[in-house]
Amino acid sequence: MILAKQLSRIDWEILGGLVLLYLLTRLTGLTAFPIYFFSDEAIQTNLAQTLVRNGLQIDGVLLPTYFRNVDKYSLSLSVYIQLVGSTLFGTSVFATRLISVLVSVLALVGVALTLKIIFKNSFWWAGALALSAMPVWFLHSRTAFETVMMVSFYAGFLCTYLLYRMVAPRFLIAAILLGAATFYSYTNGQGVMLVSGLLLFSDMAYHWQTLRARPRLAIAAVIATLLVAVPYVRFRLTTPDAVDEHLRNLRSYWLSEMTPVEKIVQFGQNYLQGLSPNFWFVPNGVDLDRHVMLGWGNIPLIFLPLIAVGVLICLRNWRSSIHRAVLIAVLAAPFSASLVGVHNYRALAMVVPAALLSGIGLEAIVALLRHRVPHAVITASLAISLIGLNGLLLRTALLDGPTWFRDYGLYGMQWGASQLFDEAETRLAADPTANLVISPDWANNSNAFISFFLAPEAQQRVRMAGVNSYLQRRQDISPNELFVLSAEEYERVASSGKLLMDEPERVIRYPDGRPGFFFVHLRYAENFDAILAAERAADSVLVDDTLLLDGEQVPVRHSIADIGRAADLVDGTRESVLRGKGANPLQINITFPTPRSLGGVALYAWEMQLVVKVSATTVDGEIVSVEQDYGSVQGDQLIEVLLRTEPLLVSELRIEVYEKRPMDQHHIHVSELFLR
């Protein structure tokens, strides 16, 4: 009733038109753009279905607060929302993305109502259209990434908080619930809400006065806050290492060997990047190809003057609660991303204050033109321009988007899930005896697609396995097994001489027409064992290299690497690695021209069943060796090996890193090496 009084009939009609236009630009070609369907989209529906099958339990936990996305707890509310969606609409790419689109309408409505009711903005509808026309939001709001839900709930939170602050105190409960939804829908939402807590303190006098005068509302607010906090408290008590594990798996510098001052400086640099106009308004070269629209900034450059004026107005009126709230939202958006690395999807909440600032700046600029240009002309021009911009984004995305970027594999668009598994389903239905062996190397967590796309009985006849395992050791290959190889794997097999292929039964082509996936039968060549023996002998050879230690060039001999060199071990970043081509163990032998005092070594290893052996030769000729089994190493983990409690004067150092699993499945790689 309160909102009904705030909006006229024409306002409701305009809002309805905005929602219809928004849905038109989101649902048209929804499965065609973005051109990929990502495992992070599929896994939420998979977890929702697992939750239902297990009686609303995962790993014995009833209604878990967070769910694992492979190696970290990063999914929560979005799984429950997709549970509702998959129950109503079934499991499909369209249905999964549809639920995300419907939730994202809240962002549009939140921006529109905030401008209309709170700021009394004459061009409130233009701010909503500006949000819809931001390329970074246009792209992501057509996916089922959980960041979309976080941004949508955050827009709802800001709107209801300001309604509580300026219109009716009863909106406080809605603000608490939407703030909690922001917190739980995406892990970055935790940092967004943490910084947004400045709203609580900046308006403390109002809170005290309002809640003291309304004890029933105060009690309800306390109860609501406690209820939404209970799931997180339970999670932290039962999974105390989850936050550190999450940051470690994202390779956050916050858990690195950097000093506290260096970490703070790095955070500051990241944070300023997340606020930088260059990052938001021009193509920045930072964001991954699959998260951008070619040739567009995250926010159209034409919006920059509007937003700049909006910022100036909010700064000038910073004592005003509503203007201060917009500035706090700007500061909140890049906070969590700055702990790891700023990318547009991590700082996507910025689109909410950007849209609000666009509306605020637009009205101020139009006010200067009203005496020169008729209001009707301004309104019509704005409407046509912003609606046209939305239409242009849709047209260029559907027509040009498939060929914007030509890397369709793991490090690019990760295209092909729908196309590949549609064909797989057809093959399995046509031949009841067929089994498929599908390459996993073209996408992250490609196993998630099996559960998403295939019925349970068909899932039993499909497994994910890279062809490299068949090239590295002889395995049984059934005549009923049909292999699905990526283009790179197909070329690798063809050039290896180890496996023979029949003509492909089916070739799925990339959007640009190049062959992408091959459905083929494989069998071993007669001389497979001889070729393999020769390769293993070659891989065991050590190569000469150098690295710089304390200003001194130090000779190094290490196993042949297919990625990196010795210098990458001491360059201060875990982004660069020395990855062995195939040797097990990976050997790193260092000769010190000047003997070095050494008590032990530490190294970062990634996802291994790990054994490390360190042997040090002292200047007296004594050899001190320590070998330790570390078991399963998750993420990028720091491994420390102590040689002696008292330092040794060492002239030579030999490090051997063993992988206990079969080496046809894994490469050994070390990202950083420290001499203690």
In a domain, residue 470? The reply is yes
Half-sphere exposure at residue 608, Cβ-oriented, CA atoms within 13 angstroms: 27
Which of 484, 506, 531 finishes a domain? 531
- Range of weakest confidence among 271-275, 555-559, 578-582, 660-664: 660-664
Helices (H), 406-463: 417-430, 448-453, 456-459
Handedness of CA 328, 330, 332, 338 (dihedral sign): negative
Q: For residues 213 and 632, which has the higher predicted lDDT (pLDDT)?
A: 213
C-alpha to C-alpha distance for 403 and 391, rounded to whole angstroms: 19
Half-sphere exposure at residue 440, Cβ-oriented, CA atoms within 13 angstroms: 17
Q: Are 514 and 545 in a shared domain?
A: no
Residues with Cβ < 8 Å from 601, sequence gap 6 or more? 614, 640, 641, 643, 653, 655, 673, 674, 675, 676
Q: Are 398 and 325 in a shared domain?
A: yes
Predicted pLDDT of residue 27:
98
Cα–Cα nearest to 366, from 383, 391, 390: 383
Q: Are 313 and 388 in a shared domain?
A: yes
Range of the domain at 665: 540-675
Q: Mean of the pLDDT values across residues 287-306? A: 96
Q: Whose structure tokens read 């065991």?
A: 540
Q: Are 138 and 267 in a shared domain?
A: yes
Asked if residue 347 lies in contact with residue 284, where contact means CB atoms within 8 angstroms, the answer is no
Half-sphere exposure at residue 481, Cβ-oriented, CA atoms within 13 angstroms: 18
In DSSP notation, 355-417 reads HHHHHHHHHHHHHHHTTTS-HHHHHHHHHHHHHHHHHHHHHHHHHHGGGS----STTTT---H
Predicted pLDDT of residue 603:
85
Q: Which class for 45: exposed (0-12), middle (13-18), buried (19 or more C-beta within 10 A)?
A: buried
Asked if residue 589 lies in contact with residue 555, where contact means CB atoms within 8 angstroms, the answer is no
Asked if residue 42 lies in contact with residue 448, where contact means CB atoms within 8 angstroms, the answer is yes
In DSSP notation, 471-515 reads HHS-----TTEEEEEEHHHHHHHHHHSSEEEPPPSEEEEPTTSSE
C-alpha to C-alpha distance for 633 and 658, rounded to whole angstroms: 12
- Rounded percentage of the chain residues whose pLDDT exceeds 90: 69
Q: Mean of the pLDDT values across residues 517-528? A: 95
For the chain, the first-to-last Cα distance in angstroms comes to 68
In a domain, residue 23? The reply is no
Q: Are 349 and 444 in a shared domain?
A: no
C-alpha to C-alpha distance for 653 and 600, rounded to whole angstroms: 10
- The amino acid at residue 106 is L
Which of 381, 403, 425 finishes a domain? 403
Q: Are 215 and 287 in a shared domain?
A: yes
In tens, the pLDDT along 430-459 reads: 999 999 999 998 999 999 999 999 999 999
C-alpha to C-alpha distance for 397 and 203, rounded to whole angstroms: 43
Q: Are 432 and 382 in a shared domain?
A: no
Predicted pLDDT of residue 667:
76
Q: Are 55 and 201 in a shared domain?
A: yes
Instruction: Inform me whether the pLDDT recorded for 166 exceeds 90.
Output: yes
Cα–Cα nearest to 348, from 333, 335, 360, 359: 333
Q: Whose structure tokens read 């999974």?
A: 239
- Give the 3-state secondary structure of residue 282: coil
Which of 531, 552, 582 finishes a domain? 531
Cα–Cα nearest to 343, from 400, 389, 284: 284
In a domain, residue 32? The reply is no
Q: Mean of the pLDDT values across residues 265-270? A: 96
Bridge partners (DSSP) listed for residue 617: 623, 652
Q: Are 72 and 185 in a shared domain?
A: yes
SS3 content of the chain, % helix, strand, coil (to 5): 50, 20, 30
In tens, the pLDDT along 345-372 reads: 999 999 999 999 999 999 999 988 877 8
Instruction: Inform me whether the pLDDT recorded for 59 exceeds 80.
Output: yes
Asked if residue 495 lies in contact with residue 457, where contact means CB atoms within 8 angstroms, the answer is no
Encoded tokens for 476: 């049984």
Handedness of CA 245, 246, 252, 255 (dihedral sign): negative
Instruction: Inform me whether the pLDDT recorded for 260 exceeds 60.
Output: yes
What 8-state DSSP symbol labels residue 116?
I
Cα–Cα nearest to 472, from 667, 664, 666: 664
- Range of weakest confidence among 315-324, 502-511, 561-570, 574-583: 574-583
C-alpha to C-alpha distance for 438 and 431, rounded to whole angstroms: 17
Q: Are 527 and 590 in a shared domain?
A: no
In a domain, residue 329? The reply is yes
- Strand 600-618, strand 648-659: pairing: antiparallel
Instruction: Inform me whether the pLDDT recorded for 1 exceeds 70.
Output: no
**Band (666; pLDDT cuts 50, 70, 90):** low
In tens, the pLDDT along 216-225 reads: 999 999 999 9
In a domain, residue 332? The reply is yes
Q: Which class for 478: exposed (0-12), middle (13-18), buried (19 or more C-beta within 10 A)?
A: exposed
Asked if residue 524 lies in contact with residue 474, where contact means CB atoms within 8 angstroms, the answer is yes
Cα–Cα nearest to 646, from 618, 627, 621, 614: 618
In a domain, residue 139? The reply is yes
Instruction: Inform me whether the pLDDT recorded for 541 exceeds 60.
Output: yes
Predicted pLDDT of residue 425:
96
Predicted pLDDT of residue 636:
67
Asked if residue 566 lies in contact with residue 545, where contact means CB atoms within 8 angstroms, the answer is yes
In a domain, residue 81? The reply is yes
Instruction: Inform me whether the pLDDT recorded for 517 exceeds 80.
Output: yes
Cα–Cα nearest to 574, from 245, 241, 258, 243: 258
Q: Are 545 and 527 in a shared domain?
A: no
In a domain, residue 158? The reply is yes
Q: Mean of the pLDDT values across residues 147-168? A: 97
**Band (665; pLDDT cuts 50, 70, 90):** low
**Band (634; pLDDT cuts 50, 70, 90):** low
**Band (385; pLDDT cuts 50, 70, 90):** very high
Q: Mean of the pLDDT values across residues 242-261? A: 84
Q: Which helix (H) or strand (E) holds 469?
A: helix 468-472
Distance, C-alpha 166 to centroid of its chain: 36
Q: Are 175 and 267 in a shared domain?
A: yes
Cα–Cα nearest to 459, from 451, 470, 467, 447: 451
Q: What pTM value is reported for the model?
A: 0.87
Domain total in the chain? 3
In DSSP notation, 210-254 reads HHHH-HHHHHHHHHHHHHHHHHHHHHHHH-TTHHHHHHHHTT-GG
Encoded tokens for 229: 């906090």
Bridge partners (DSSP) listed for residue 555: 546
State the chain's mean pLDDT as an integer.
92
Residues with Cβ < 8 Å from 470, sequence gap 6 or more? 477, 499, 522, 664
In tens, the pLDDT along 2-35 reads: 777 788 899 999 999 999 999 999 999 999 999 9
Q: Whose structure tokens read 């009833």?
A: 62
CATH number at residue 613: 2.60.120.260
**Distances from the Cα of 219 to the Cα of 69, 215, 225, 408, 552, angstroms:** 37, 6, 10, 54, 67
Handedness of CA 77, 82, 87, 89 (dihedral sign): positive
